[in-house]
Amino acid sequence: MSIPVIDVFAGPGGLGEGFSSLMDENGDPVFDITLSIEMDEKACQTLLLRTFFRQFKHENVPEEYYEFIRLSGYVDVYKLREMLEKNKNKEGIAKFDKADQIAKQAQLGKVDEKKLDSWIEKALEDKNGNKKESWLLVGGPPCQAYSVVGRSRRGGISEDDERVYLYREYYRILAKHNPPIFVMENVKGLLSAEVKESPMFEQILRDIKDPASAYSKLNGEEVDTIDCPGYHIYSFVREEREDQEELFETDGPNFKHTDFVIKSEKYGIPQSRHRVILLGIRKDFELKPTILDKQKKLTVSDVLQDIPEIRSSLSKKKDSTRNWSNEILRLKENIKLEKGSSKPDLFLRRDKYPSPSRKAIRPWLKRAYKLKVYFVLDSITNKEVLERMNTALEIIKTNPPEIKGAEYIHEKCDIGTDVKELREWYLDQRIAGICNHTARGHMSSDLHRYLFVSSFGEIEGRSPKLEDFPLELLPNHASASSGVSNSTFADRFRVQLWNDQAKTITSHISKDGHYYIHPDPDQCRSLTVREAARLQTFPDNYFFCGPRTSQYIQVGNAVPPLIAKKIAGIVNILFKKISNQTHIPK
């Protein structure tokens, strides 16, 4: 029998996907998501669709599912049910309706507690209506309030931000329903977050270690009906320390703050994603977990190679392949890409001017340009970068990518890695193409920057800083001029390098593509939703519902399913030990 999983603050379902993907020796799922709760409408539609998919063995997934994800444009998920009805697929209709009951759109903290408790109790019932005592709670309370970038924008954390305290909904479920084990995820910024100069992480640890007391204090009185023994909190990547360095005024296993951070790139994920993930084991169990095994480095090339090539589009002008090519080719008019000019020049070469001098001269040069004073800037001194840019320009001129992508493309899709397990994880021949692979539009000036940045990255093996840019390609944003000397976001234009892990995919990818430039200069664009999803280790048949902006947000906020699957393996071992006991204590 599968172990029930309650997934709260579920997002598009990354944690749930990982746990659902773990199979036993008979090929049956070890874990079964019986309730997913998410407040965002489009993410909840994604959850519903995936919950429907999971109810079938892969070879038995109805063809209507694949027909649905091949539809062009944004289509409401309930269109799938109409397709099942039209084809009189009774089994499909029944499982769609079941999925619709599992995936709940609701905002924890707003939904009535009695209603929430009834959903949980229903999700934990066996066929005879009895509660299953062996079950798992997973989820990550919204992290925007704790993220370092978010805090820097807002000037810190406000105690009035209701997202700060949504973790209380998590410990209320712990106190009320007593799962034997839980997994809780959040951003690394949680470790340094403070409210009224009080460290949030220490407070959260105290509360989830003793949720009954925390819940009682929250209500201002002792709650007699709650009987929760509390939890020991463990790391997935570090065994308990022996030096007895007490960090918190609580008993239990001894860890440092950073022991709870999972650096995904060390565990076979093609992305430098660092997240706090806590493992809670109820105190009345004498259990200690194993830890994750480090794995071979997985790169951008391993997962993004052999995806159909597409071009970006023009956001401010009439778009066509010819117009797109012509706008990029204008780069030669705006920046000197050839050696040996006879025009008067002022070189800012690194071999002639040290970095402080370049930084001092550049702001003056920029002001001079505004006054129409003419100088030739030849700051791209790496001949190989120039050659790569010219090669890309020639390809864009003579043989550009013809399509700018779509929600579905009927073209052969493969993956760079030859590792059998990964190919089986990502690929699905039944799709007969690729989904969620639409390129976003860009301004002409940004296309020129993308060409430079991707060429620079391919040759130099890193993303350029703003001080590496030719003057003509510097952005006009107010932050850019200060970024040349001293800015937190000096590397605002960032290319994902073929032979390295990607930088962290976040929901910011929905704003613009500057942080997420595709490594191929010939395509001159930012990452698509599908490419971001691959870096987040979502299988290709995992379809994201909603408009493209919503899709990007869903992918950026998700837990990588492949790291969740590895975590599920550790949790499964713990449940096996529990099942070997004669009874489950309460």
243 vs 542: CA distance, rounded Å:
45
The one-letter amino acid code at 371 reads L
DSSP letter for 110, please: T
Show Cβ contacts of residue 479 under 8 Å, excluding neighbours closer than 6 positions: 487, 489, 492
The one-letter amino acid code at 251 reads D
50 vs 55: CA distance, rounded Å:
9
Residue carrying structure tokens 């296993």: 253
Helix (H, G, I), strand (E, B) or coil at 70: coil
122 vs 135: CA distance, rounded Å:
13
Compute the Cα dihedral for 516, 518, 523, 528 and give only its sign.
Answer: negative
Active-site residue, from 44, 143, 435, 545: 143
| Closest C-alpha to 194, from 159, 163, 170, 161 | 159
Q: Half-sphere exposure (CA, 13 Å, Cβ side) for 369? A: 17
Retrieve residue 376's tokens.
């030739």
**DSSP assignment of 355-369, as one string?**
HHHHHHHHHHHHHHH
- N- to C-terminal Cα separation, the chain: 21
- CA–CA distance from 190 to each of 66, 281, 288, 564 (Å)? 39, 21, 25, 20
Task: Locate all alpha helices (DSSP H) within 157-228, ordered by sequence.
Answer: 167-177, 200-209, 211-219
* Biggest distance spanned by C-alpha atoms of the chain: 88
Instruction: Please confirm, yes or no, whether 143 is among the known catalytic residues.
Output: yes
**Residue 105: strand pairing partners:** 38
- CA–CA distance from 134 to each of 199, 306, 498, 584 (Å)? 33, 43, 44, 8
356 vs 398: CA distance, rounded Å:
41
Tell me which residues are annotated as active site.
143
